[in-house]
Structure formats: C-alpha cells, structure tokens
Amino acid sequence: MKRIAIYPGSFDPITNGHLDILKRASKAFDEIIVLIADNSNKHCRFSVNERLEMIKGAVKKMDNVKVDSTKGLTVKYAKEHGAKFLIRGLRAVSDFEYEFTLNAANEYIDHDIDTVYFMSTTGHNFISSSYIDSLYSSGVDISSLVPESVVKMYKEKK
C-alpha cells in the first residue's frame, strides 16, 4: 500500500524551512502532495498560480513530490487522493497550540487521517513566510532563506 501524505499550507512564499521539512518527510512517504490552500479570506502576495510555479521550481528534483491546490478542506482533499497523513511543521512552542486545535478539527472531520509533525531544524526555526515578505519589503537579501524560484518571483513582482 502506497503511503501518501499531504503537506498543506499557504506557502506565500515557500521557504527553505518548508523545503527542509519536505525533504525529510519525503524519506518517510512514498508520495507527498504539497497542497496550496486557496483561502480567499487570506491576503496573499502571490496568486495561487504563482505559488504553484514557485513550488514546482523548488521541488523539481524531488521525484516523489507533486504540487496542487484546493479551495476545499484539506482532509477532504486527502481522502479524495488516497492520502492517510498530513504533514505539519513545528518551529516553536507557540506553534503547538494552533496545531493542536487544527489537528482536533481535522480529526473531527475525518478520524482516519493522521497528522505527522516535523520539528524545524536549527537555522530554519525563525523562518516564516510573513517574515520573508517583511524582510524582502525592507530591502534585505532573502536568497539564503528561500529557493531561487521565490527570489525570481519577488523580482518579477516589483
């Protein structure tokens, strides 16, 4: 039986912290779908298509990783695609409360889908998409914090 996992998020933009978790998770699962949550209530700098392009560029050498988006619930997408696991990252204790609540809601919707947590490695635990955006907007070089496809997209967005 193929072990399929979903790695959901807004990924606005994807960071090297996200990629670190994805690389480690790709050793544990046969297939991972990086799933962009298309939430119209959330303001994003990049469109879903731009984020898809960024992520595809960042994962092109990862054979067991696919990229997709959904407007629906992640657990419903997971069930439709035969995934039994959700991948989530934890950077700090402050992430735990949010993830605990999210896990409870997901479990309520579908108790057959488990969430697997990966701790950020040292050096990636301060990186967040909003922090990246703030740094870039302030003129700080973000190239060591994000994949090249993200830097390229920021430059094109100017």
Give catalytic residues, as residue numbers: 18, 42, 91, 129
Cβ-based neighbours of 117, under 8 Å, separated by 6 or more: 88, 89, 90, 99
Tokens of 97: 């409360």
How many C-beta atoms lie closer than 10 Å to residue 122's C-beta?
Answer: 7
Q: Is the peptide bond before 13 cis (omega within 30 degrees of 0)?
A: yes
Q: What are phi and psi of 5, to 5 degrees?
A: -130, 150
DSSP 3-state assignment of 79?
A: helix
